[in-house]
């Protein structure tokens, strides 16, 4: 839809909403994807969006609500009564999606919504999921799954699968448990229908299955599913009892969320924010790292101030200060970015600390030789001060090697301390390398000009 048609569509829709012509509103929405309807609601006033939403049937209403941005959805939910929240969409959602939505509500509203849900088993499942932290496997999983007992025969198994499948949109695996609900493995549907109806399930189990504990972090869940190319992953408790399953669509959301957080952290933003957040929140999350950058600038100025006599005697040194500082920061960020990316992917091919440092030392050495040679050649032909030429080239050589090692070591150290290593790729490492570069530049220059 073009922008012009889109605006015409919205204006016409607003007119129908104003006149409360519900049949015509539904006719205009017919055939639209839930994502498109969510975008339309974002362009309407809160009252208009509320009216439009209440015209949708239960399944469409639940699908649309999941597509609305979290901060807007939270405000939208506040104006809906608990009975509408329960009957309009929660009863039509999978337990994991319902728990995610309910988690955005106040405690008293959550309790009221749970009491309104007619299916008490579903309400219990949602209540159980709300007990888990959002960033764990328990917080990600859905309760809906198909499971059979290992002692059943194929005939009983097929009956149970048919009964349980009524509540599930897609069946990825049939899970096999024992009498204590301990996960034993998975069952292949193709193998199931090929066997005699009297065959025992325990003879058909595939025990080679990946699973995670309820307290496993969402980052680890994403890494496991990516490594083994899984579309679904069972979740068990501490003693191996089957509690739920995590599907690939939930993990895609996790990957997107973690990527966004890391990108913000690299940019020096210390909180999870959206462009639609208010001015105060957007400002508050930017200030900490900007403050660190400011303090770094002050320290850099102090370094230059302490060496003012050197700059007074060799004014030409000042021309290369931006070069030294920028190169140190850029090299450090490049090295740390590679390490952070490797850590984030959970790669088991990651080198040991010693091997990684040696590798970065080699990369830094080659890079340092190249750029020191380039600057040496430039100064040799365009500068008449040979000692300055040597000082700048040597400083650049040392700075690049140190920044490479520093950029490798810091994220590894932060990861060891259970701190997000993405911190090392932002203003922190740039500021530190800027200051270090200036200190080395002044020190090397003093050595070459015999000023100390």
Predicted local distance difference test score (pLDDT) of residue 426: 65
Which pLDDT band holds residue 369 (cuts at 50, 70, 90)? very high
Which pLDDT band holds residue 348 (cuts at 50, 70, 90)? very low
Looking at residues 268-296, what average pLDDT do you find? 68
Predicted local distance difference test score (pLDDT) of residue 128: 93
Q: Which CATH superfamily is domain 146-256 in?
A: CBS-domain (3.10.580.10)
- Quote the tokens at residue 130: 């709300």
Q: What is the CATH number of domain 3-135?
A: 1.25.60.10
pLDDT at position 3 over 50? no
Where do the domains of the chain lie?
3-135, 146-256, 279-448
Residues 237-260 have pLDDT tens digits of 999 999 999 998 888 877 777 666
Residues 379-398 have pLDDT tens digits of 888 888 888 888 899 999 99
Q: Do domains 3-135 and 146-256 have the same CATH topology?
A: no
Which pLDDT band holds residue 213 (cuts at 50, 70, 90)? very high
- Quote the tokens at residue 92: 């039509």
Residue predicted with more confidence, 345 or 3: 345
pLDDT at position 163 over 60? yes
Looking at residues 265-276, what average pLDDT do you find? 57
Please, where are the H alpha helices in 44-195? 46-54, 58-67, 70-78, 82-88, 95-102, 107-116, 120-130, 137-140, 154-164, 189-194
Predicted local distance difference test score (pLDDT) of residue 270: 55
- Quote the tokens at residue 366: 């080659």
How crowded is residue 90: how many other Cβ atoms within 10 Å of its Cβ? 28
Residue predicted with more confidence, 275 or 216: 216
pLDDT at position 417 over 90? no
Looking at residues 127-135, what average pLDDT do you find? 91
Return mean pLDDT, the chain.
83
Please, where are the H alpha helices in 383-426? 386-416
pLDDT at position 262 over 80? no
pLDDT at position 333 over 60? yes
Residue showing tokens 């490479």? 404
Predicted local distance difference test score (pLDDT) of residue 35: 87
Between β-strands 242-247 and 232-236, what pairing exists: parallel, antiparallel or unpaired?
Answer: antiparallel
Which of 83-87, 275-279, 334-338 has the lowest average pLDDT?
A: 275-279
According to the per-residue pLDDT averaged within each range, which of 188-197, 219-228, 251-260 is highest? 219-228
For the chain, percent of residues with pLDDT exceeding 70: 88
Predicted local distance difference test score (pLDDT) of residue 267: 56
Looking at residues 292-315, what average pLDDT do you find? 83
Round the CA-based radius of gyration of the chain to a whole number and report it: 30
Which pLDDT band holds residue 137 (cuts at 50, 70, 90)? very high
Residues 12-70 have pLDDT tens digits of 889 999 998 989 989 998 888 888 888 888 888 888 888 888 888 878 888 888 888 77
d(Cα 38, Cα 44) in Å, to the nearest integer? Answer: 10
Query: Rounded to the nearest 5°, which phi and psi values hold at 175?
Result: -90, 145
d(Cα 205, Cα 320) in Å, to the nearest integer? Answer: 69
Q: Which fold has domain 279-448?
A: Tetracycline Repressor; domain 2 (1.10.357)
């Amino acid at each position: 839809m073009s922008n012009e048609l889109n605006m015409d569509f919205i204006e016409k829709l607003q007119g129908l909403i104003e006149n409360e012509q519900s049949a015509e509103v539904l006719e205009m929405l017919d055939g639209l994807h839930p994502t498109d309807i969510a975008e339309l609601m974002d362009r309407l006033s809160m009252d208009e969006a509320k009216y439009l939403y209440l015209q949708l049937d239960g399944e469409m209403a639940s699908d649309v609500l999941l597509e609305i941005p979290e901060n807007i959805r939270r405000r939208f939910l506040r104006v809906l009564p608990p009975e509408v929240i329960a009957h309009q969409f929660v009863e039509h959602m999978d337990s994991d999606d319902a728990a995610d939505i309910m988690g955005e509500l106040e405690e008293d509203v959550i309790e009221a919504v749970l009491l309104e849900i007619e299916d008490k088993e579903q309400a219990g499942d949602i209540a159980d999921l709300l007990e888990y932290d959002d960033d764990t496997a328990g917080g990600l999983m859905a309760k809906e799954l198909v499971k059979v007992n290992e002692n059943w025969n194929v005939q009983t198994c097929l009956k149970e699968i048919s009964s349980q499948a009524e509540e599930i949109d897609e069946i990825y695996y049939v899970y096999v448990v024992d009498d204590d609900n301990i996960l034993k493995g998975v069952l292949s549907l193709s193998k199931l229908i090929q066997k005699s109806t009297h065959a025992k399930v325990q003879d058909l189990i595939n025990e080679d299955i990946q699973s995670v504990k309820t307290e496993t972090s969402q980052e680890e869940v994403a890494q496991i599913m990516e490594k083994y190319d899984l579309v679904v992953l069972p979740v068990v408790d501490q003693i191996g009892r089957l509690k739920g399953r995590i599907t690939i669509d939930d993990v895609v959301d996790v990957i997107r969320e973690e990527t966004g957080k890391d990108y913000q952290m690299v940019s020096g933003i210390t909180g999870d924010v959206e462009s639609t957040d208010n001015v105060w929140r957007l400002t508050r999350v930017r200030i900490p790292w900007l403050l660190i950058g400011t303090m770094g600038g002050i320290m850099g100025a102090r370094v230059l101030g302490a060496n003012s006599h050197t700059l007074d005697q060799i004014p030409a040194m000042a021309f290369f200060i931006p070069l030294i500082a920028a190169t140190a920061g850029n090299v450090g960020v490049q090295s740390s970015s590679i390490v952070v990316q490797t850590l984030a992917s959970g790669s088991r091919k990651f080198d040991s600390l010693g091997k990684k440092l040696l590798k970065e030392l080699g990369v830094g050495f080659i890079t340092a030789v190249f750029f020191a040679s380039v600057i040496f050649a430039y100064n040799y032909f365009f500068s008449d001060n040979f000692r300055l030429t040597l000082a700048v080239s040597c400083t650049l050589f040392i700075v690049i090697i140190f920044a490479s090692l520093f950029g490798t070591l810091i994220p590894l150290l932060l990861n060891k301390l259970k701190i997000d290593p993405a911190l090392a790729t932002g203003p922190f490492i740039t500021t530190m390398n800027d200051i270090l570069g200036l200190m080395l530049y002044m020190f090397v220059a003093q050595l070459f000009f015999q000023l100390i």
